[in-house]
Structure 1
């Protein structure tokens, strides 16, 4: 095999694995009503179907790349694809909600290996910075295409073949990625620069999972029940233990000392709020279009296209604006547009035209495109190059964690509205619940914009000399 052929095979393998991993973030949204019907579950079950993936992806993302760096990037990338395919097959064969949730968790863990693994393999394959930047740009296009294709492909598959097909479609793509990757990817590792943090990893999963459980299950348990109070207390204790473990690590999974810089802390907190509002609302909109308005899965996927397709050109614009003006301007514009779009959907009500809905979806999608990439650029300005990977991963993880919490909180708001029995029709109750969801989602994103507006610019407090290994920050000029 020629060098050029090996290079093409490596890229196709990395892009294909990325595509199926990120496709499953959005493709499942249009299938949720069919899953609810077949598995005899409710909105609570739908929340767990989405959050099982999101929690594992968010909690494992920071350490997913470390396994490859330490024990072999090719090895763990291919292992990640195999695990993802096993999870997909488990999901497709699921006859109960419990099995489906377990399969989604397996998929999320595997995706946490695939996404950083693909980026690392691409980065290692090209020593020239300019050519490497172009390859990473192509990777970004592939990632955006996966998000865009999810609702449309999902709609076709659910209406034509049933919801298990959205998981079976991963199998041939993933198998081809393994075959190509085995032949074309060169093995590499840097064990001296990578460390594992098993205690931190376990505590991260426990914290996020227990907190999500406490929120989602309030529909059954109630906010004042011993189960809810105990769960919240356990999540808080686990979170404190996680911070303490990470504080003592020389090479932590989460660089907690970077949060001493208010600029880093603010961008990360804003990323949580963006994921909370935008991604949480996206999932529930799919349920609303099908369950309240009676649309098919394909029609729902097409309705969501204006939101997803606008992200790509907005991301390109964000790159140009960041290069010219810095990351703060496009971030503020993006958060403001996303929040305004979500609030507009709340104000529009149930009887509005699709023209208005489409315009608000375009505004929301454009806002997300403007906000996401500059957030990474913002934190990269604050850390030295050797800390760039962990800093950017922290921001992406924060957004995924926000998504998991958003689906939990916003889904609970909707479920509580639907539980009301005041004589109104189901559609009216659904419409009221979605109005509340959009109000909370929009307010959360605008709170992120406010944080970015008011973020501190002072120097971080001085730290002990020994802290330099963990979180050395560039000084404010």
Structure 2
């Protein structure tokens, strides 16, 4: 890549070399030096860009690895802190709630602060919160630390692509960098269950969080030295009433699903949480409808194709990530597997997901997002349907095939969620559309973990497993139906 600041320098020096006569031998060394000096600049620039990309990918890797590794370590957490199934659900969802709530406003904060500054600040917060998780003396401190992790991730995640765009102004180089960034997510998906299981068995569950500390410090060093700051500009005022009512509505909904599973759906506390959720959800819609600068402009949902794309994002995360949480608990509690062996059982799921993303999606991308969405979701639907036959350890072949097909389908269609959403929204609102989709995905994950975790915690665990799998299959079927009905046929380039 040729950096823009170096181009004028080279152009200015070349005319001074052209008049030199071919016979002027003594002048030849000076001509070479005129050309050799600037050649070091592009090499240095490329090195800085590569290290900035490494920082961004490491930050992204930390966020994804943390969640996938924690799933297989949850039973060890439960034994150590003497928690319940509801407590395990809170350890996961308390991270997702602030992450989902902050995704929509992180863009405006990045505009005012600069993406690099927000990335570094959020990374420092995430690293500190990870250390607090590792040192948690009890469940309360762990839940609070996970909440702080979620806040930091809400600032960290949206800035990664902004820094890549600033670092690689050339579209071709930027596309290559984004491919590396995406592959990092696939690597985290494979490394999470295996690495999390191995670390839990060898060093205990706290090591999953503790490993973030040295990685975070290295990433901070790279980002501070090599990442460039993005342009700062004035942005719209933050929608604090919308932010608050949205957080309360989401938190109360998730709390109802978690506590209802342990206390009973008609118990006083869950019913109170349900009422709070309904009231604050109505208040959120009213606030957003009247706000001059709404966090969630309701007008964008007038386009049925965009609404379907957002619903697809919710369903994907509910099914794909809720399934991982629920099955990791089931394998260890009902099959008696260790955390390490649980990670091995999840290997076909993870590898198939990465294969679907890196190989199949890229080869079929010319067919357009609609085709990839419904065909990938069909594979996931068939795979999750096969999981209805899973019971004792003797049904492990069904588990392997079912999770493999589910992971393959998720890998094929998940990259097309953004493409479908952006095809359905005005290009002027592309950033908002991407933010809404990512928020819906995080909400889906929180709801999936809350509800499926409650079902797997039923007294009849096998019935809970099958009800959970039915819900997961229904989510993938919804992606098929919504994509075929509403997602436009327009093909990508």
* TM-score by shorter chain over 0.5: yes
Residue 440 of structure 1, aligned match among 467, 471, 475: 471
Gaps of 5+ in 1: 419-429, 458-473
- Cα deviation for residue 201 of structure 1 reads 2.1
Over residues 5-52 of structure 1, what are the superposed CA-to-partner deviations in whole Å (9 max), with x where a residue is unaligned? 321221111111111111112110011000000111121111111111
Distance 1:348 1:90, change over 3 A: same
Partner of 2:334: 292
What are the equivalent positions in structure 2 for 1:85-100 lying under 5 Å apart?
85-100=127-142
Partner of 1:67: 109
Query: Are 2:389 and 2:395, in contact at CA under 8 Å, matched by a contact in 1?
Result: no
What are the equivalent positions in structure 2 for 1:357-368 lying under 5 Å apart?
357-368=399-410
Distance of 1:189 and 1:255 partners within structure 2: 25
Does structure 1 residue 131 correspond to structure 2 residue 173?
Answer: yes
Partner of 2:210: 168
Q: Secondary structure of 1:417's partner?
A: coil
Distance 1:381 1:357, change over 3 A: same
Distance of 2:240 and 2:440 partners within structure 1: 19
Partner of 1:107: 149
Residue 352 of structure 2, aligned match among 303, 306, 310: 310
- Cα deviation for residue 186 of structure 1 reads 1.8
Distance of 1:42 and 1:321 partners within structure 2: 45
Residue 121 of structure 1, aligned match among 163, 188, 207: 163
Residue 120 of structure 2, aligned match among 65, 78, 92: 78
Partner of 1:422: none
Distance 1:194 1:123, change over 3 A: farther
Over residues 168-195 of structure 1, what are the superposed CA-to-partner deviations in whole Å (9 max), with x where a residue is unaligned? 0000010011111111122223323555
Residue 34 of structure 1, aligned match among 51, 76, 79: 76
Over residues 209-258 of structure 1, what are the superposed CA-to-partner deviations in whole Å (9 max), with x where a residue is unaligned? 11001111113442223322222121122222222333344553333211
Partner of 1:54: 96
Partner of 2:31: none
- Cα deviation for residue 321 of structure 1 reads 6.0
Over residues 329-361 of structure 1, what are the superposed CA-to-partner deviations in whole Å (9 max), with x where a residue is unaligned? 110112221122112111243244433322212
Over residues 362-394 of structure 1, what are the superposed CA-to-partner deviations in whole Å (9 max), with x where a residue is unaligned? 100011112211111011112233321221222
Distance 1:195 1:177, change over 3 A: farther
Partner of 2:193: 151
Partner of 1:453: 484
Distance of 1:248 and 1:372 partners within structure 2: 34
- Cα deviation for residue 105 of structure 1 reads 1.1
What are the equivalent positions in structure 2 for 1:178-327 lying under 5 Å apart?
178-193=220-235, 195-317=237-359, 319-320=361-362, 323-327=365-369
Distance of 1:315 and 1:392 partners within structure 2: 19
Partner of 1:466: none
Farther-moved stretch of structure 1 (250-259 vs 292-301): 250-259
Please report the RMSD computed on the Cα atoms of aligned residues, expressed in angstroms: 2.1
Over residues 414-452 of structure 1, what are the superposed CA-to-partner deviations in whole Å (9 max), with x where a residue is unaligned? 22235xxxxxxxxxxx33322222122212321332233
Farther-moved stretch of structure 1 (24-33 vs 6-15): 6-15
Distance 1:62 1:322, change over 3 A: farther
Partner of 2:423: 381
Distance of 1:397 and 1:354 partners within structure 2: 35
Q: Secondary structure of 1:349's partner?
A: coil
Q: Secondary structure of 1:186's partner?
A: coil
Distance of 2:235 and 2:408 partners within structure 1: 38
Distance 1:364 1:220, change over 3 A: closer
Distance 1:104 1:11, change over 3 A: same
- Cα deviation for residue 456 of structure 1 reads 7.9
Distance of 1:248 and 1:308 partners within structure 2: 44
Q: Secondary structure of 2:295's partner?
A: coil
Q: Secondary structure of 2:414's partner?
A: helix
Q: Secondary structure of 1:416's partner?
A: coil
Query: Are 1:270 and 1:448, in contact at CA under 8 Å, matched by a contact in 2?
Result: yes
Query: Are 1:222 and 1:228, in contact at CA under 8 Å, matched by a contact in 2?
Result: yes
